[in-house]
Structure 1
C-alpha cells in the first residue's frame, strides 16, 4: 500500500487497535476464538493432520514388526524439524513483505512466550497484502512437506506428518491476525508495525 502511517487519518482511517508485541499471545487467542473463515480453516487443518498423525502412530499395530517406540521416535524427529523450520518460516514472511514493497524489515522473538515475529517498520499493508505475508510460510512449507509425505519411505512418512502437524500449530499467530481482518470484514483494515515502540497498529474505515 502506498500510504504512509501519518497519511491514514486524512484518508478516512481511524485507529481500531494498538497491539503491544508483548500482548501478542492473548490478542491471538481472542481472535482465534472468533468464528471467522481463517479460524475455521486453521482448526480444520489441525484436526485433519492430527487425525492422520494418530492413524500413522497406530497403523500396523497388529504387525509382528510394530514398535511404538520406533513410531514415537519418528514423531519426535518431526517435532524437532518443525523447530528448525522456524527461521525459514520468518524469512518467508520477510520475503513476502519485501515483495509487497516493504523496505525496513526485521525479526523479533520472545522465547519465554514462544512467539516469533517478522516485522516491517512503518509499512502500511492492506488486507490483500497482509494475507500474502501471513499465508506465504504456511502455504509454501506445507506444500513442501505434503510433497515429501508422498515420496518419503515408510520410515520418514510419520516424521513428515509430525513436522506438518507442529508447523501448522505454530501458524496460530498468522491465522489469528488473519482472523482479526476477517472479523472486521465490514471495514477496509490496514496495519503497520512500529518497531521502535514494539507495537502494531490496526486502522480501518468503512468500505466505500
Structure 2
C-alpha cells in the first residue's frame, strides 16, 4: 500500500530528505547535476553530441550563406530564428503538458502549471499527489523521450529544415536539465523507497525516503541535497 501524506509524519517509517521551494530551482538542480553518475554522463554526452552536430551544420550554413549571397543568408537566419521560436512557442508548452498528462496517467487529479519570470522556467506540479520512484521517473523523463524522438524523426523526414530542428533539439535538451537532475536523484537513491509530492498552494515540493533506504556510495551520502538545506524546484522544462 502506498503511503499517504499523513503517513509521512511517522518519523519511524519516513525521513524528509528535501523540501524544495519552487522559486529556487537552480541551486537544487545544479547541486544534483554536479554529482556524477550514469544519468549525468548520459545527459552530458547527449548534449555534446547535439551541440557538435548543430555546430557542424551551422558552419556549413555560414559557408553556404557566404557563397550563396543574400538569399542563403536570409534562409540561415530564418532557420535559426525558426528553431528558437518553435521551441519557445510550441515545445515548452508541449513539454509541460506531457508532464501533466503523465501525472494524470498515474492518478493525479489536480495538475497545475506555473512559471518563474526571474528564473525563466516553467513547471508542472500535481497538488498533494504522492509519486513513488517508478511514477516519478516516468513523469520526469516522458517529455524528453517524446519530444526528442519527434524532433529526430522530423530531421529525417525534413532534411531541408535540419539546422532549425537541431537548434530546437539543442534548446529543448538543455532546458530539460531539471528533469535529468530529478532522474539523477532517483539514481542516487535507487534501492530504497523514494516518495515525492507537491504543495501547489505554498509552492513547495517534498522528497521522503523510507527508512530502509540507504545511499549506495559515500559520494551520494555527502553530495545529495538533504532536508531543508537546499532550495530549488522539482519540475522544470
In structure 2, distance between residues paired with 1:207 and 1:25? 26
Q: Using the alignment, how far apart are the partners of 1:183 and 1:73 within structure 2?
A: 42
Q: How many residues end up aligned between the 2 structures?
A: 207
**1:44 and 2:45 are equivalent in the alignment:** yes
- Tell me, in whole angstroms, the C-alpha distance in 1 between the residues paired with 2:181 and 2:159: 35
Partners of 2:126 and 2:153 in 1: CA distance: 31
Which one of 62, 65, 68 corresponds to residue 68 of structure 2? Answer: 65
Q: 5+ residue gaps in structure 2?
A: 215-237
User: What CA distance in whole angstroms lies between the structure 2 residues aligned with 1:69 and 1:37?
Assistant: 41
In the alignment, is the contact (CA less than 8 A) between 1:100 and 1:129 conserved in 2? yes
Q: Aligned partners of 2:177 and 2:133: how far apart in 1?
A: 18
Aligned twin of 2:97: 91
Distance in 1 separating the partners of 2:20 and 2:151: 32
How far apart, CA to CA, are the structure 1 residues paired with 2:48 and 2:22? 28
**Long gaps (5+) in structure 1:** none
| Superposition pairs of residues 161-180 of structure 1, within 5 angstroms | 161-180=166-185
Tell me, yes or no, if structure 1 residue 193 matches structure 2 residue 198. yes
Query: Any idea what SS the aligned residue of 1:192 has?
Result: strand
Runs of 4+ that moved beyond 4 A? 66-69
d(CA) in 1 for partners of 2:32 and 2:42? 13
Does the 8 A contact of 1:20 with 1:200 survive in 2? yes
Rounded to whole Å, the distance in 1 between the matches of 2:177 and 2:73 is 29
Q: Which string of whole-angstrom CA distances, capped at 9 and with x for unpartnered residues, describes residues 68-92 of structure 1?
A: 5632431221111111111111010
**In the aligned structure 1, how far is the partner of 2:141 from the partner of 2:73?**
35
TM-score with structure 2 setting the length: 0.81
Structure 2 counterpart of 1:151, from 145, 157, 163: 157
Aligned residue for 1:106? 112
Residue 139 of structure 1 is matched in structure 2 by 145
